[in-house]
A = this chain, B = another copy of it.
């Protein structure tokens, strides 16, 4: 422990002192170590590495303490039913505070005076560099390019740079669990019912938003040039990139409140679906724009050939990621179907986790986008694999990803708060920032209102005006925009964008996030009543389910509403995919043509026959039966659950859910499932009012 090392620790301590009594311990340990190693003056590699490791520990510890503080405050807020500030907003505030301390609490020159030594090479940068120090060789790995301004920062304040995480950490470690959880916890019924609208908003809407914002910002940039406020290059493609980055809306804050208040289910599905899918779109869009940039030679202006190439890249990456995600999901479903892994929930959960993670790595290794693949993997897993898992594993996997998602999300938001002060290359340009705020407002408006108008032409169940305003209002920017913006902050333009993105995230999360509850009541959107329970809120969809088999008219409406493409898919999924990949659905032997007989019987498990026997025409879109209802439906409902092997399992499930302790999301799921069961009830009474129409085949 050399003097340098001790200085450095004291610097960190100065920071932490304000927060917690860890510092005393740190200093004690420091002196303890200093004593025992005091005799050695050698500045060895090992010591350097040890010091760096210790520094990393302190940094991570800072974040963990931040998260702990956030959790405790969230609890207080939930306990007191405070709703004006969501946990993510809170995490940002704590992050900000620590950022301020790190930035201004430590004298900039308190430690590490050294300028890092540099050496020259003629060749380009390589991943591994050897350093020869008097005959001994040391290996160095490339971290990245550093611009001339930053070199001085390296000298000035090493710690601030250290606390600034590698942006790739966000993409490779923090985003995947968030996005997977979004896919896995998707409420399938509401989602699939509104699939057309969701895809329209996500693809067309995000593209509109991206181009509107990009063009408006290009105007702003031109204005800045005129006013002499721009110090460096800022191309048209940079503006478009900004448009893509800032078009990714965040599901977190608003939807947590929706969930808590039990706001309208369709509105929830629209917002959630849009924000989840447009994350994927924004990632691929932004990387397509980056891919466009170099091909456009030096002009950085519009070029039709390059544009279509970028569109090609977009489609290629998107569909590649989609296929990869869906494929992994299907493989997992097949494994879980054809092994008896469900007898060992630990193995099953571990396999599920590994397969879901491998999607990400596989996509990344293939040059597709891991995060997008993970989203579709999550949806596939929820749709197929979930049905094959044991009762216990369904809970375990849900809870595992819930915790990972929660931690990752709060980490990102507290890091955002921190980054406002610790990131060293902020470029605050008032004109750009004001312009951006106006642009995202216009972009969002041109996304929601025109598209809703068009969608309403085709939709039976119109998206009403107050829903549109709510969707407009709920366009928060969050983790994804931040992660995309921080990914590359090498140029002047990117740094300005990063600063602006950060401010937009802060503003939208605090103001729009905090204003969700008042906004809901102001727009007269009914809360507290679950839409599934309330026939008034979405009459045309639900009357068929509420009635007792006499309202054939309702069914036909439902039929008309579903697009033929969706209907086709549904039939195919229900008759072939589900039976092939899960234990539920009708046995393949009954749905496949007779010449496929041997194959069909090979792919059908005894359990599927069993299910079929007991619940013939039943549409088992159910994820898993919930106990509250099992009591009502008795044994036949129990065996309807593809996941449970025996009645005893379900008894377990029933007790579990009977305890009445459910978080917001779980209780809504329960209600959703209840609805599914009602459908089943209708069906098993022989009325065959199927939704959405399996008898159409």
> A residues engaging B (CB < 8 A)?
22, 25-26, 28-30, 32-33, 36-37, 39-40, 43-45, 48-49, 51-54, 57-58, 60-61, 64-65, 67-68, 71-72, 74-75, 78-79, 114, 116-134, 136-148, 151, 154, 168, 172, 291, 294-295, 309, 312-313, 316, 320, 324, 335, 339-341, 343-347, 349-351, 353-355, 357-358, 361-362, 364-368, 370, 390-392, 396, 399-400, 402-403, 406-407, 627, 648-649, 651-661, 663
Q: Which residue of chain B lies nearest to A147 when distances are taken between CB atoms in the complex?
A: B137
- Asked if residues A72 and B346 are in contact (CB atoms below 8 Å), the reply is no
Query: How distant is the Cα of A403 from the Cα of B71 in the complex, in angstroms?
Result: 23
Extra inter-chain contacts (12) besides given A140-B141, A141-B143, CB under 8 Å: A25-B324, A26-B366, A29-B368, A61-B362, A72-B339, A79-B343, A122-B134, A125-B133, A128-B154, A400-B400, A648-B658, A649-B661
Tell me if B365 and A79 are in contact (CB < 8 A): no
Chain B residue at smallest Cβ distance from A168: B53
Query: What are 11 A-B interface contacts by the 8 Å CB criterion?
Result: A25-B366, A26-B365, A29-B368, A33-B367, A57-B362, A61-B362, A65-B358, A79-B340, A118-B130, A122-B133, A655-B659
Residues B648 and A652 in contact, CB atoms below 8 Å apart: no
Evaluate contact between B117 and A121: CB separation under 8 angstroms: yes
**Set B148, B312, B341, B391: member contacting A137, Cβ < 8 A:** B148
Q: Which residues of B contact A48 (CB under 8 A)?
A: 125-127, 142
Specify which of A39, A144, A154, A343 lies most central, judged by the most chain B CB atoms within 10 Å of its CB: A144
Known pairs A140-B140, A652-B657; A54 contacts B365 (CB<8 A): yes
Chain B min CB distance to A44 (Å): 8
Are B72 and A663 touching (Cβ within 8 A)? no
Are A25 and B362 neighbours in the complex by a CB distance under 8 Å? yes
Q: Which residues of B contact A30 (CB under 8 A)?
A: 366-367
Chain B residues closer than 8 Å to A154, beta-carbon distance: 128, 130, 139
Q: How many copies does the complex hold?
A: 2
Cross-chain contact A116 with B142 (CB below 8 angstroms): no
The verdict on A353 contacting B407 (CB below 8 Å), with A118-B129, A335-B72, A396-B399 known, is yes
CB distance from A381 to the nearest CB of B (A): 15
Q: Which residues of B contact A54 (CB under 8 A)?
A: 364-365, 367
**What is the distance, in angstroms, from A684's C-beta to the closest C-beta of chain B?**
25
Known: A75-B340, A137-B118, A140-B143. A53 touches B125 (CB 8 A): no
**A322 CB to nearest B CB, Å:** 14
Q: Which residues of B contact A659 (CB under 8 A)?
A: 391, 648-649, 651-653, 655
Q: Let me know if A133 and B121 touch, CB within 8 A.
A: yes
Among B29, B36, B351, B367, the residue within 8 A (CB) of A29 is B367
- Asked whether A142 and B138 contact (CB < 8 A) given A68-B355, A648-B658, A661-B652, the answer is yes
Report, nearest first, the 7 A-B pairs whose CB atoms are least far apart.
A655-B655, A652-B659, A29-B366, A118-B130, A140-B140, A119-B119, A57-B365
A50: min CB distance to chain B, Å:
9
The distance in angstroms between the C-alpha atoms of A355 and B72, with both chains bound, is 12
Q: How far is the CB of A52 from chain B (nearest CB, A)?
A: 5
Distance (whole angstroms) from the CB of A365 to the closest CB of chain B: 4
Which residues in B have their C-beta under 8 angstroms from that of A120?
119, 131-133
* Bound CA span A362–B344, Å: 35
CA distance A311 to B22 in the complex (A): 26
Cα–Cα distance between A114 and B129 once the two chains are bound (Å): 11
Max count, chain B CB within 10 A of own CB: residue among A347, A366, A653, A658: A366
A352 to chain B, nearest CB (A): 10
Closest to A76 in B: B339
Give CA–CA (A71, B33) in the complex, Å: 43
Contacts of A309 in B (CB 8 A): 36
Structural contact, A131 and B144, CB atoms closer than 8 A: no
Complex contacts, A400 vs chain B, CB 8 Å: 399-400, 403
Query: With A54-B365, A361-B57 given, is the CB distance from A119 to B131 under 8 Å?
Result: yes
Residues of B close to A657: CB separation below 8 A: 652
Say yes or no: B141 contacts A128, CB within 8 Å. Answer: no
Roughly how many angstroms separate A541 CA and B199 CA in the complex, as a whole number? 68
Docked-complex contact A146 and B139, CB < 8 angstroms? yes
A392's contact among B33, B75, B661, by CB below 8 Å, is which?
Answer: B661
Evaluate contact between A45 and B648: CB separation under 8 angstroms.
no
Q: In the complex, what's the smallest C-beta–C-beta distance from A192 to chain B, in angstroms?
A: 27
- B-chain residues with CB within 8 Å of residue A36 when the two chains form the complex: 291, 309, 312-313
